Structure formats: C-alpha cells, structure tokens
Structure 1
Amino acid sequence: MSTPRSTTERTNRKAISEALLAEKLGLNDSWIERWEENGAWREESCAPDQLPEFIRQKLNRGELKEVEEKVDQLVAAGCQRSVVYFCLQQLSPAAEWSRSGGHLEGVQAQQGEELASQKQKRAIATREDMATVASNARAARKEIHRHKYELSFTAEALRCALPVGFSTSAENPEDALLLLESALSWVAKLADAYATPMVSTLIKSKGLLYLAMYVGRHADERKLCGQRTDSVLADSKKASGDRRARRTHLPAANVLVNLLSMIMGADQSWSPSELKEKVKSFRQDYPRLYRLLEMKLAELHKFASR
C-alpha cells in the first residue's frame, strides 16, 4: 500500500524544517573554536565579554545600568556572564535578520575596486522551483546518456581531467559519465521530495530560546524571584485572564522576564508561563534540536566557568 502524497509531504516538510532550523539556530556551527598554534591547542569561545552592541545603542545610561543589574542577578543565580551576553545577542535585529535568510555578500561596484559587503536576503525555494530543478536534471541526464559515446572519446582525445569532489573517484570517462548520470538522478529525486518549509513560522521568536533555556537550566529559580513575587502573583490571579493583564503583573516578578522586557520593549514582553510554553513546544516539536541546543549552551557555560 502506497503512502498518500499528503502524508509523505508532511513527513518530508518536518524533516526539512528541522534541518533548516538547526542551521538557522547555528547548531551546526562550532561555538568554541579550537586550533593548534606553536604546538599548543588554543580555544576561544564565541560568547562576548560585554553587552551586545544593539543593546548599548538602544538604551540610555540608566537603562543600561538596570540591564547590567539584571545580568548580575542571573550571574549570582548561577549563570555565566559571557553566556548571558551571548544569549542576549540572539535577540538582536541582526540575528533575527540572519535567521530569516539574510546574509552579507561581496559586491564589486566597479571593475578593479575591492569587494564591498552588501546585505542580501535569499528566499527559500518553492515546490515550483524544485520542480524546475528536477525537470532540468532529468533532461541533462537524458542528453548525457544519449551522447555518452561522443562525450567519452572526446574526453580521451582531449585528455580532459576527470571530475573530482566525489568520495568515489572515476577511473575513466565512462565511469565519470555514469557517475554524473547517477548524481543527476539523485538531484531529481531530492527535488521531487522537496516540501517548502514555512520559514516565518519556523523561526518566529526563536531568539528567545537561547536565554530561556540557559537560565532555566543553569540558574537557581528561587534566586530569580523578586521580593514582590507573592503579592504580584496574588494580584495576577485577580486580574482577568487576557494577555495584557498577565503581562502587566508577571514581568515585575521575574528577573528574566524583566530583562527581556527592557531589551525587547514592553509591547513584546513575555510572561514566565509563555516562556515556559515556548521552550516546551520547541522540546516537543524538535527534541533532537532541543538536546543539541541545551548541550551547546552547557558547553559554553562550562568553558566560561574555567
């Protein structure tokens, strides 16, 4: 019994979305660089030693002092300062832009001039785009197969170098052409299986995960509650259950929520329960990525603790 196309498409989209999200969150990158220098191994963390620039530019001196006080409280609760700064950096407009597909590309304005960095944004391919890829790959494979004889003796006559880049090397032109046909079939199969991930939904508010997961894992929650916790929670129970009421009361009761509110603005603040739900959903939807992000944050924490 064949699997319905809709079921296969959902399965493929989930797998593709997970792979894309891992890349967007930087989970495929090294967060601690290691290299050998003069016979000794060196290590350097990507965690900064000061507040991210976007925060220093956005807030005034008094607000920056308050932010640093909140960071001090997180450090006193068990977090590492540099890792908190790293997590805050993931909330920057630049980080959000990068996760949405933005990248810098070298562009030469005039002949002979040095390349200048230019911001560009690459949209994710659609099913229609991939249908074209599959069609072109099959057409190219068909033409190569049709003219394999001529291509083979031309390669021998002109002593053309065989293609490289495969783990299995070709020993002669016939093998190279067969390998190329196989590769084109593989490309066509991938393009046919492609399902466009919903990028905007996939990356929405994902910058919050770093700090929420790090604080939740490494900070003593009892030390993050302010003196007004009991009264604020009592007041919040009396308030209506709408989003505005919860946000009016709960941010004052929690250092993490206060910190996020100061940096992101009151209109984008999150309650403790909303942050927990955000992390919970990520863990349920992408358990492998959750474990990987948790592990990489723990690695930064351990490195900074030395």
Structure 2
Amino acid sequence: MTIQQLRYIIALDEHRHFAKAAEECMVTQPGLTIQLKNLEEEIGIKIFDRTKVPLKPTLLGNEIINRAKRVLNEAEAIRNFVVNQKNDLEGAVTLGVISTLSPYLIPQFIKAMKAIVPDMYFNIKEAGTGQLIHGLQNGEIDIALMATPTGMTGLKEYPVFDEPFVAFLNAGHPLAGQEYYELNMTDKPNLLLLEHEYCYNAQMLDICDMTDDKRKIDGQFNYDINSIETLKNLVRAELGFAIIPQLSVVNEREDTLFKPFKEPVPAREISLVTSDIFSRKLLLEKMSHAIWDCLPESIKENHGYRKIRWNDSPYFINKTAGFL
C-alpha cells in the first residue's frame, strides 16, 4: 500500500470515473486501473463496485476511502512540518569555524546575521579541522565553516567562496620589492606551519611541493604555533617565511609584507558543512549570502584559482590517523 495508491482511490471516489480520475492524478487510465487492482489484491477487499455506473465504492470501500483521506491529511501535515523546519529562522544553532578563518571573518558575519536573523541564537566555536569534523559527526556542531572538500561520508558541503593564499615576507626578503611572489627554493626550509591545523599544513606543503613538516625556527627553537598572527610576527622578526590566507592580510598596513602569487593563484575552497540529516536549508542560504557580502571585492573576483586540496594528502592522512 502506497500514498500514491491512496490518492488514486480518493480521486476515483470524487470523480466516479476512471478517465477523469486518471487525468487528475496525471497517470494513464490503464496505470490507475492496475494500481487499484494491486491495492485491492493486497488488502483482499474490493474498494469499488465496477458493475455500477457511475462507479461506486463498496461498503468497506467507503471506510477505506475515509481512512485514506485521514492518512493523506497526516502526510500533508508532515510535509508542511518539514517545510517549516527548513524555513525556520528561529532557535539556536552551533557554528564551528576553522581557526585560520574565524578572526578575519566572524566579527563581520556576526553583525550581518544580527540584522538578517534577529531571532536566531548562534553558539560559535573556533576549532581545528579535525575537531570540526568530529563535532559534525557526533552532533556537537550543527554547521561548520571550513576548508573543503573533506572527503568524509555523512557530511554535506555547500561551497561559499574561494580564498587565495598570499606569501608573507619580511622587509629584507629578496622578493619584498616585487609585485608577485614566485616560490623561492631557499624559502622552503623556513616555511612556518601551524601545530595541529593539519589541513592548513597539508595545503602549505602542497603549494611548496614538500612532504614533511620537520623544521625548526632559526635551527634552534621548536615552536608549536597555533595562530596566523603568530606566523606573521615571526616573519616580521625575520624568523621564517609564511603562506597565509588572503583574508588575514585585508587590514594589514604594511602592505609590502605580503605578495600575491602569479597565476594560477593557489586558493582554498571555503564551505558551510553539515551532517547529511541537517534540514534547515533557508538558514544555510542566509548564512551563505551574509558571508559573501562580508568579503572584500578582491576575493569575490575569481581569477581561475588553483584549488589546493588537503583531505587526500598523505601528510594529513598520517597526522589524523586514529581520530578521524
């Protein structure tokens, strides 16, 4: 017994005519007849007396038709409930954001969302990629704003924008006076990375065509760095070289310190990520538009970026083995 079969018997009861009922249900008359026959055989009861003209329900058929109407009303109520849930812009939601993006986008995002969805409450958590994926999988996080693709089953990704990477140089760097940065082989040993932010590190190693993260600052100090701002300050102190997301330099005054790459410019894809059972699509649309509106025009202009993946990096797979 299917919902569609119940629709057919209700239409037959209303029209008392196979051709008219079939037309209303947008099915062929033989198709409707076969479905009615299948239903009657399944339940072992004749719903309509075909000897009567016009068509007439049997005594038990009348009761079945009345029950079918109640079932369809309930089905419609469920459908309306789902639609309302998808369009709901009230209540609470937990948003996780990767730490390499959060400081540079979330303040503007908060202002935008306050105006767009005044009845929503956002619990925002800044975390690393591994923590965000784990949070999405166990239900602690509803939505994550992070670099994609994750390659994880059970998650849905909604790309919002591509963020280019830029080279961050100290004032004494040989290319500090140039318009663009081209990878310098002497920079590779001085590449600064972030502790535990393995997706970011995997992207940096990919850009620089490197396979490991074994390095020390100035050959002497091992420094577990956890923020882009620390990377930038180490570069200013001439203690290394960094490749960082473009949003992290939008408000930089010392514009000679960062240089765009020559095309094709390496970039990361930033997406809203949810579990595959998350249903609040209108909220995702509102968030996506708000994020886009917060971006500087330089990032909105896609220049045919070379998207840098991380989920299939041997480095990332090795580092996250056991907890993803």
Shorter-normalised TM range: under 0.3
- TM-score w.r.t. structure 1 length? 0.20
The structure with the larger Rg is 2
- TM-score w.r.t. structure 2 length? 0.19
